[in-house]
Amino acid sequence: MAAHAPEGDPPRAATRTDVARAAGVSTAVVSYVVNNGPRAVAPATRARVLAAMEELDYRPNALARALRMRSAQAVGLIVPDVSNLYFGALARELSNRAFDQGYAVLLGDADNDVDRERAQVDSLVGRQIDGLLIVSLGDELPASAENVPTVFLDQRDRPGRRSVVADDLDGAAQAVSHLIGHGRRRIALVNGPAGSPEAVQRERGWRETLDAAGLPHDESLIVRTEFSRAGGLDAALRLLSQDERPDAVFVASDVQALGVLAAARRLRLKVPDDLAVISFDGTEEAAFSDPPLTTVEVPIDRIAETALRAVLSPEPADAPTFVPVRLVIRETCGCPEPTGG
């Protein structure tokens, strides 16, 4: 047994010095065996050290190591709202991949507030993160982020900065083309809020595709609203109570689409017969709505993988990396039902 702990003294965790003393070696040697280098250690010595570590229940202090190494082996992740399904999925993928590579992730929830986001950046940078992954609400990061490798995961235009984003423009084009292919002529857009950069690209894809087909795309066909179920509901109610009712709608997110479906039910409109719907994101909710949503699927895993690689490697990149998206056909677009149910 180890010596009895003298009562009343604060139990301090064992340090490398304690291990060295217990094993009868220098602290350098302990370091060598802990890190498997950079110097070789005689097998017998190594065994003694290992035994001492075990005995003292030694655990390296990552903070001290970080200070010395000038690297915390940690990345920061800042999103507007982790409880959002999309950002949550992103956080999950990123967290798991980072962990597998020995990195911790410091999570910052900006609470949809630019000032708060900036404060989070300052805080994380002060904690010496090796890189920052951010879905930012603003156009500029605070000066503190200057020397931290940063990858943006949002659609804002930031020339010269690295970003990894879904190909929103192409996704919107795919969706609208598909609706046109079903013979729809009056295709509305339920978009995200005016300030949202994702919204800008999705709207552009919608507009350009309609334009190329000679179909209308005037402002009366657009409603911009929050990325929420309630937003989608309101938007659809407004759109569908017009004189010239749309026969299809492209919705900028799955959650909004759930609201759109609720609106259709309320107005006794059959989906897809009276109204075809295609949304964006490809979250699980889309598969379980009534009817199941045809949606543009964003491969979050690939975004996470690409972004993490980018932030951890020094190569600069001038243009954004666009991750391809694909249309997942279910029942709201008007295709014949896949499962002949």
Partner DNA sequence: CTGTTAGCGCATTCAA
Partner DNA sequence: TTGAATGCGCTAACAG
28 binds DNA (CB under 7 A): yes
Q: What is the nearest approach in angstroms of a copy of itself to the Cβ of residue 30?
A: 16
219-258 positions binding DNA, by CB under 7 A: none
- 58 versus 86: smaller Cβ distance to DNA: 58
Member of 7, 10, 12, 341 binding DNA (CB under 7 A): 12
Tokens of 270: 């059959």
For Cα atoms 108, 73, 163, give the angle at the middle one, nearest 5 degrees. Answer: 55
4 near DNA (CB under 7 A): no
Measured at the alpha carbon of residue 210, what is the angle toward residues 203 and 154, in degrees to the nearest 5? 20
Partner in contact with 270, chosen from a copy of itself, DNA, none, beta carbon below 5 to 8 Å by kind: none
- Residue 27 binding DNA, by CB under 7 A: yes
Among 21, 65, 92, 309, interactor with DNA by CB under 7 A: 65
The helix (run of H) or strand (run of E) holding residue 106 is strand 104-109
CB of 18 to DNA, least distance (A): 8
Query: Closest separation between CB of residue 51 and DNA, Å?
Result: 14
Rule CB under 7 A: say whether 61 interacts with DNA: yes
Of 15-23, 72-80, 117-125, 294-302, which segment contacts DNA by CB under 7 A? 15-23
Query: What's the rounded Cα separation, in Å, for the pair 91 and 107?
Result: 8
Residue 289 amino acid letter: S
Cα 34 versus chain centre, distance: 35
Closest CA to 247 of 214, 206, 277, 219: 277
Closest CA to 153 of 195, 203, 107, 91: 91
The amino acid occupying position 156 is R
Query: Which of 2, 3, 5, 42 is close enough to bind DNA by CB under 7 A?
Result: 42
Neighbour tally for 137: CB within 10 Å: 22
Which parts of this chain interact with DNA (CB under 7 A)? Answer: 12-13, 15-17, 24-29, 31-32, 34-35, 38-42, 44-46, 60-61, 64-65, 67-70
